[in-house]
Amino acid sequence: MEKKLYKITRKDLYDLFTRLSSEYRILVPYAKGEALHFGEFDPEKENSIELGGIRQSQPVKSFINPAREKILNSSRRDKRPLILAGVKGCDLSSFILQDFVFLKGDTEDPFYAENRKNTIIIGNDCTCAKETCFCLAMEGTPYPQKYFDINLSPINDYFLAEIASDKGEALITDFKMFFKNYTAMDLNAKQANREKVTREVRYFIDKRGTQSTAQIKGAVKRNYNLAALWQDFAATCVECGACNLVCPTCHCFLLFDEKAKDANKRYRIWDACLYNTFARVAGGANPRKHLYERLRNRFEKKFDFFPEILGYFACTGCGRCIEACPGDIDLREVLKGLVSGEKWNKPPND
């Protein structure tokens, strides 16, 4: 459908959420210190809602492909459709990969498909950046471009609301009184805000010397057998899997059965390629028994495999893995090492 643009005040938006909350489950970002976390919309906590800032701590996959999901004799506790508000551009771009894996293979995943169908995505422009942001280097932007039903661009105490899908249009059909006409001044303010945050992200990229996708292309394949490089970067890894679990594009899972008195249960849970059991097969054989091999696998999939088969670097530049890693492994530094390779390609001193 043709995108439509309206203006809505913050007060009217929260009034809209209140009216929709009996029919929909609504999650919004709340500020907790310097971080943002998704939580159930509560009109009593409106002052803590932050529809701006940067991306939330939880990746959007947490709600479409939950970390733990019962898939045998399953019944959803809350059957209301979900409205997920405040989703940033770096999370939305992950749908390119998640949809490819769970919807476009030989068999469509019914659980992912149902959650995707029953979720309305309200995107949100970033209003600031932080040192770990590098979406521009990964061909992204600090504002949503697609994969949203409605997008909110904050301007003072109101938003420019862009309606981009039939689901988004249907959501506001009965509440058009909240949506007003916008002006050229509003469009200019929206563009100025986007340019400001883009400059901030670019500053952090240039300051760090973060590699672009054009520079990264082919780097993993060139240095795949450079064991010393991978061993160096894996030296502080504690195999916690945090980098995988907070990543919006990671999608590996494990199936396990749980015996119970009344009925057997089967669950799907997130898996992580840094776990030492990730690649283990029946009989105990493990083709990636060394930690550096598992770290290498993570980068090979993101920066070689998916660019080849999907034309997409499986990193959105959200920076969550950098913040989550207790071993201080910085993905940007690994990429810089891969591109140059100088330190590890030098012959040993006599």
Residues linked to residue 153 through DSSP beta bridges, in sequence order: 160
Which residue, chain included where needed, has tokens 């990671």? 250
> Which phi and psi (to 5°) does residue 67 adopt?
-60, -30
How much is the pLDDT for 350? 38
Distance CA 32, CA 50 (A): 10
> How many residues does the structure list for the chain?
350
CB atoms within 10 A of CB 208: 16
How much is the pLDDT for 93? 96
Distance CA 296, CA 286 (A): 15
Q: Are 168 and 150 in contact (CB under 8 A)?
A: yes
> Which phi and psi (to 5°) does residue 44 adopt?
-80, -10
How much is the pLDDT for 347? 54
Residues linked to residue 160 through DSSP beta bridges, in sequence order: 7, 153
Please work out, in degrees rounded to the nearest 5, the angle formed at the alpha carbon of residue 229 by the alpha carbons of 228 and 232: 80
> Tokens for 217?
């292309």
Please work out, in degrees rounded to the nearest 5, the angle formed at the alpha carbon of residue 61 by the alpha carbons of 168 and 216: 110
CB atoms within 10 A of CB 286: 15
Q: What is the CA radius of gyration of the chain?
A: 22
pLDDT in tens, the chain (350 residues): 778 999 999 999 999 999 999 999 999 999 988 889 999 999 999 999 999 999 999 999 999 999 998 887 655 566 789 999 999 999 999 999 999 999 998 899 999 999 999 999 999 999 999 999 999 999 999 999 999 999 999 999 999 999 999 999 999 999 999 999 999 999 999 999 999 999 999 999 999 999 999 999 999 999 999 999 999 999 999 999 999 999 999 999 999 888 877 778 889 999 999 999 998 888 888 899 999 999 999 999 999 999 999 999 999 999 999 999 999 999 999 999 999 877 777 655 53
3-state per-residue secondary structure call for the chain = CCCEEEEEEHHHHHHHHHHHCCCCEEEEEEEECCEEEEEECCHHHHHHECCCCCCCCCCCHHHHCCCEEECCCCCCCCCCCEEEEEECHHHHCCHHHHHHHHHCCCCCCHHHHHHHHCEEEEEECCCCCCCCCCHHHHCCCCCCCCCCCEEEEEECCEEEEEECCHHHHHHHHHHHHHCECCCHHHHHHHHHHHHHHHHHHHHHHHHHCCCCHHHHCCHHHHCCCCHHHHHHHHCCCCCCCHHHHHCCCCCCEEEEEECCCCCCEEEEEECCCCCCCCCCCCCCCCCCCCHHHHHHHHHHHHHHHHHHHHCCCCCCCCCHHHHHCCCCCCHHHHHHHHHHCHHHHCCCCC
